Amino acid sequence: MLDRHMRPLIDPPLAWLGREMARVGVSANAVTLAGLALGLAAALCITQGLMLEALALVLASRLADGLDGAVARARGPSDFGGYLDISADFLFYGAVPLAFVALDPAANALAGAALLVSFYFNGATFLGFAILAERKAMRSDAHGVKSLYFTDGLLEGTETIVFFVLLCLFPAWFAPLAWGFAALCFLTAGARILLAHRVFVD
């Protein structure tokens, strides 16, 4: 929901930095993998209760996630790069709830499991829509130039980053925050299914 409003603010500096990184030979895939490593390091910090360190690593990871696309556009995008990027994103998104479950299983296990189910469902509707959109040769640049078709939704990348930041700042609130975010993920996925029914029914 917020991504299209954030793009005009973040795209120009990311594009400049991406061009500079591409100029010195940095590849988009290397940035993607660096971002994934930072995200998994953040999850590891969460399991140890190192929340400020986790917060810094989460933000660094998401910066890398924005930069890899900017580098790819400067060097020339590839299908594999887009595939690697979305795969890394989903691994990171799953690792953070798992880390909070590991931190306090008694308090966080059920909410964490519900959150992961909601991520799984939401991700399936997102990727399924992207596949059908590709078959129909649909294009959209509302979320920037992407390898996959990105549908609008109640929850997008910006909201997820804000959610993870809140989890790091208020770890004792993990369960209620996770239940609330899971509910919104289910709502987003349901809305996407309704959209797909309207767009793709023959």
CB 62 within 8 A of CB 161: yes
Q: What pLDDT does 143 receive?
A: 44
Residues spanned by the domain of 80: 3-200
pTM: 0.86
Residues ≥6 apart with Cβ < 8 Å to 137: none
Give the chain's domain count: 1
Q: Which two tokens stand for residue 85?
A: 């990027």
Provide the β-strand partners of residue 36: none
Q: Which two tokens stand for residue 111?
A: 């909410």
CATH code at position 50: 1.20.120.1760
Residues of the chain below pLDDT 70: 1-9, 139-155, 202
DSSP characters for 30-90?
Answer: HHHHHHHHHHHHHHHHHHTT-HHHHHHHHHHHHHHHHHHHHHHHHH---HHHHHHHHHHHH
